[in-house]
A = this chain, B = another copy of it.
């Protein structure tokens, strides 16, 4: 099935394109260019749409210092997945009361480390972890994560995180008994979730658990709605308003006007659309004289930035820099530069590009601000990790 030929102007303005082209021209490919202004705008839109929600930026999506500084100045809080991310934030002067430790998988030593640095908000989903929290983070506020199957998400989070509500009920009582503060519930509907109804189901489960533990004398205070808000990839999805309206409606339906504290953890949705990977055509070839599709090999692939194209899960918009060749279009298979066949980006989904494409032509891969450079391998096949530049700084 051919993919429809999309238009770069649905993603970037002509001014954006000129800026990137100008910024890029003397730099060796491949690299990522990040437009901070777009991140700032996305943050403002989300704040306006859910004004009562406290934003905890999921640092794992992109931990570039300039992004952290920008969001910190805008008043964002932060969610970290490890003590290394925690150290990065503290090193940038962000105070520990603006940081939540969201990874449910933690070593005792890491809990202790974070606690000693002032972290008092942790997410959990197991008896093992609650025992460690009680010992190493006494009196901390704990958020319990509900297991969620994430149907409809491009990048599902499956069963790895969270637990069944029945187990969480016991876990909340256990945490309370051990001197922790059962503070709230969290869930994550999956990254790049397309089905808005998934939030409804999750919020209902929160309501059920709020009530169930209240009967045991425990008053939960917070719901963490997680992330899952979309980025603008090839396959279209709803506008952000559709998500936030539905969430808002459902929260009020379940909790009336006495909403609990609301926390959200956007990552991808804040930073993805702000990134463009600039890559170069290394080779165009045929496998046999009769092949219908040529192969287009780029100097950026699965191992140096485009890991999320693995199994073609995320379909990035891909455009030739020289946009005046839109007349003679052909479908290509796209692959990365390494000696490894997992390093094929798109073979089931062909991409339509100019039939005249040739070596050294530059290609823009859009919406690549999240989960790209930080995923790069340290040096698979010797290739260095993807560089990242900030558009308005460097």
A160 and B345 CA atoms in complex are apart in Å by 11
Determine whether A105 belongs to the interface, using a CB cutoff of 8 Å to chain B. yes
A172 and B128 CA atoms in complex are apart in Å by 63
A80 partner residues in chain B, CB cutoff 8 A: 382
Which of B83, B285, B341 makes the CB contact (< 8 A) with A126?
B285
A280 and B110 CA atoms in complex are apart in Å by 13
How far, in Å, is A99 (CB) from chain B's closest CB?
A: 13
User: Which of A15-23, A36-44, A162-170, A324-332 lines the interface with chain B?
Assistant: A162-170
Which of B147, B156, B170, B341 makes the CB contact (< 8 A) with A157?
B341
Counting contact residues on chain A (CB < 8 A from B), the size range is 35 or more
How far, in Å, is A105 (CB) from chain B's closest CB?
A: 5
Contact, CB under 8 Å: B167 / A287: yes
- Closest B residue to A297 by beta carbon equals B105
| Oligomeric state, in copies | 2
Q: Which of A339-394 contact B (CB under 8 A)?
A: 339-344, 347, 359-360, 373-385
A104 and B160 CA atoms in complex are apart in Å by 39
Contact, CB under 8 Å: B105 / A282: yes
Contact, CB under 8 Å: A288 / B163: yes
A282 partner residues in chain B, CB cutoff 8 A: 105-107
Additional pairs, 15, CB under 8 Å, beyond known A84-B382, A164-B288, A374-B380: A81-B338, A81-B381, A85-B381, A106-B282, A107-B282, A107-B359, A126-B285, A147-B287, A155-B342, A160-B341, A160-B343, A163-B286, A163-B287, A167-B286, A378-B378
A158 partner residues in chain B, CB cutoff 8 A: 341, 344
Contact, CB under 8 Å: B383 / A167: no
Determine whether A11 belongs to the interface, using a CB cutoff of 8 Å to chain B. no
Which of B105, B156, B163, B384 makes the CB contact (< 8 A) with A337?
B105
A379 partner residues in chain B, CB cutoff 8 A: 63, 84, 374
Contact, CB under 8 Å: A341 / B161: yes
- Closest B residue to A28 by beta carbon equals B109
- Closest B residue to A150 by beta carbon equals B341
Determine whether A102 belongs to the interface, using a CB cutoff of 8 Å to chain B. yes
How far, in Å, is A301 (CB) from chain B's closest CB?
A: 10
Contact, CB under 8 Å: B377 / A376: yes
6 residue pairs bridging A and B, Cβ less than 8 Å apart: A84-B381, A103-B381, A158-B344, A310-B342, A311-B311, A377-B377
- Closest B residue to A162 by beta carbon equals B287
Which of B58, B164, B374 makes the CB contact (< 8 A) with A377?
B374
A283 partner residues in chain B, CB cutoff 8 A: 104-106, 126, 128-129
Determine whether A82 belongs to the interface, using a CB cutoff of 8 Å to chain B. yes
A347 partner residues in chain B, CB cutoff 8 A: 159
With A81-B339, A377-B378 already in contact, the answer to whether A159 and B128 are too (CB < 8 A) is: no
Can you list, as one digit per residue, whether each of A79-112 has a CB less than 8 Å from chain B (1) or not (0)?
0111111101000000000000011111110000
A338 partner residues in chain B, CB cutoff 8 A: 60, 81, 103, 105
Determine whether A335 belongs to the interface, using a CB cutoff of 8 Å to chain B. yes
Contact, CB under 8 Å: A382 / B88: yes
Determine whether A303 belongs to the interface, using a CB cutoff of 8 Å to chain B. yes
Contact, CB under 8 Å: A156 / B377: no
Determine whether A273 belongs to the interface, using a CB cutoff of 8 Å to chain B. no
A67 partner residues in chain B, CB cutoff 8 A: none
- Closest B residue to A105 by beta carbon equals B297
A159 partner residues in chain B, CB cutoff 8 A: 287, 341, 347
A378 partner residues in chain B, CB cutoff 8 A: 373-374, 376-378, 385
A132 and B380 CA atoms in complex are apart in Å by 24
How far, in Å, is A295 (CB) from chain B's closest CB?
A: 8
A310 partner residues in chain B, CB cutoff 8 A: 310, 342
Contact, CB under 8 Å: B339 / A164: no
A60 partner residues in chain B, CB cutoff 8 A: 338-340, 380-382
